[in-house]
């Protein structure tokens, strides 16, 4: 397979409702799509950067810049012809894992489409469907939160994740538990909003039988998470702290995490995500697939990843209508709390051209 170039396309996708976390509120997703064009066809990737460097150091405009100035020329110089070659060619460049992941994803999709193999089969899927969890943002009031959670449970979601921050944690969780009972699979996500000084406060969450507390401390505070794990009974899950298989192995060895949220964009791609899955499985650590409000392109890849054997907890692989009234692919529709794993060549989905054109805000072509 010979790469001919990449199309960098920005699309603006309005959210069905504002999504608030401890670091930002989103009302629209500015998504960077990457289309790899080869002599045998094409493949699609999705870059999960946000507009501002708040969740991670990366941001959408920076991803476009680094792809155009450094990464795509590096792929051309190395004569890359497959997905593993992307990682090798870009290894000398520090950071920018989300940009690297998008390019790798597009090349992998093109490669698999040309060979008639699915993303799921390539990664090592063992399931034809995956359970759906939903992430519930910080609300303006407890009644609003309870209405939202009740709606998602009625829709069939099998796990609820509550975003938390100081001032919106204990009482919010208590209200959900009291309203919906102990049988609901419930977890919380702090997105680095606390410090180790809050350990005793966070230990109060032990009363609510949560699946996990996700990323309570700063991403670089691995030792702090290890100390926190000695104080709280609820399992600690790392998200932002896990940027590679190497950091995952270190966190496990230090006792800083009992669960890992694997986000392929955050770790540099789906091939690295699979390595983290394998390391976690070898150490008896549960993993689940996190989400970044992806379109149908990224959602298809995440569903494929979530069907690997080590993904024993429901992930943030919600239906398309959780975030978007109109997706750029055929919508992912939940059935009995699950999404089907695409089985077609590559991602198994493609953008709907008319919808894509309507939502597109800019397109650039970078020739190899």
d(CA 87, CA 80): 10
Sign of the four-CA dihedral 313, 314, 317, 322 = negative
Q: From the CB of residue 365, how many other CB atoms can be counted at a distance below 10 Å?
A: 11
Asked about 179 being catalytic, the answer comes back as: no
For the record, the structure tokens of 10 come out as 């920005």
Catalytic residue among 2, 68, 163, 335: 163
Q: From the CB of residue 364, how many other CB atoms can be counted at a distance below 10 Å?
A: 12
Residues ≥6 apart with Cβ < 8 Å to 210: 173, 186, 187, 188, 234
The SS3 of residue 85 is helix
Sign of the four-CA dihedral 337, 180, 217, 222 = negative
d(CA 359, CA 12): 6
For the record, the structure tokens of 259 come out as 């669960």
Ordered DSSP codes for 296-355: HHHHHHHHHHHTSTTB-S-BS---GGGT-SS-SSSPP--BTTEEEPP-SSBTS----HHH
Q: How far is CA 366 from CA 9, 65, 75, in A?
A: 11, 11, 12
Asked about 161 being catalytic, the answer comes back as: no
The SS3 of residue 261 is strand
Nearest 10 degrees: Cα torsion 138, 140, 146, 147? -110
Closest CA to 26 of 353, 266, 291, 331: 291
Catalytic residue among 2, 68, 179, 263: 263
Question: Would you name the residues annotated as active-site residues?
Answer: 163, 263
């Amino acid at each position: 397979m010979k790469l001919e170039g990449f199309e960098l396309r920005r699309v603006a996708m309005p959210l069905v409702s504002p999504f608030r976390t401890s670091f930002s509120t989103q009302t629209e997703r500015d998504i960077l799509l990457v289309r790899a064009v080869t002599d045998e066809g094409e493949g699609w990737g999705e870059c999960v950067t946000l507009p501002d460097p708040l969740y991670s150091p990366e941001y959408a405009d920076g991803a476009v810049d680094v792809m155009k100035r450094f990464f795509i020329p590096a792929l051309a110089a190395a004569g890359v012809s497959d997905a593993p070659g992307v990682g090798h060619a870009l290894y000398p460049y520090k950071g920018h894992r989300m940009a690297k992941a998008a390019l790798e994803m597009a090349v992998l999709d093109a490669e698999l489409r040309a060979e008639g193999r699915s993303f799921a089969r390539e990664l090592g899927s063992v399931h034809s469907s995956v359970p759906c969890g939903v992430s519930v943002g910080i609300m303006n009031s407890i009644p609003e939160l309870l209405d939202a959670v009740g709606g998602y449970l009625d829709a069939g979601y099998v796990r609820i994740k509550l975003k938390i921050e100081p001032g919106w944690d204990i009482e919010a969780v208590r209200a959900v538990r009291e309203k919906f009972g102990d049988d609901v699979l419930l977890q919380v996500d702090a997105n680095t909003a606390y410090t180790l000084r809050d350990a005793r406060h966070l230990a109060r969450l032990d009363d609510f039988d949560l699946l996990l507390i996700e990323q309570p401390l700063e991403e670089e505070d691995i030792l702090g998470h290890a100390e926190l794990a000695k104080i709280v009974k609820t399992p600690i899950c790392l998200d932002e702290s896990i940027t590679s298989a190497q950091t995952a192995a270190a966190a496990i060895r230090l006792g800083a995490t009992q669960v890992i949220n694997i986000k392929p964009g955050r770790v540099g791609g789906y091939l690295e995500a699979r390595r983290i899955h394998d390391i976690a499985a070898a150490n008896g650590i549960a993993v689940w697939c996190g989400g970044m409000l992806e379109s149908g392109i990224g959602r298809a890849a995440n569903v494929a990843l979530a069907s690997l054997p080590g993904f024993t907890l429901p992930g943030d692989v919600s239906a398309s209508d959780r975030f978007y009234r109109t997706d750029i692919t055929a919508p992912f529709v939940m059935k009995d709390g699950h999404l089907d794993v695409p089985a077609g060549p590559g991602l198994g989905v493609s953008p709907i051209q008319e919808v894509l054109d309507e939502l597109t805000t800019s397109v650039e072509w970078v020739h190899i």
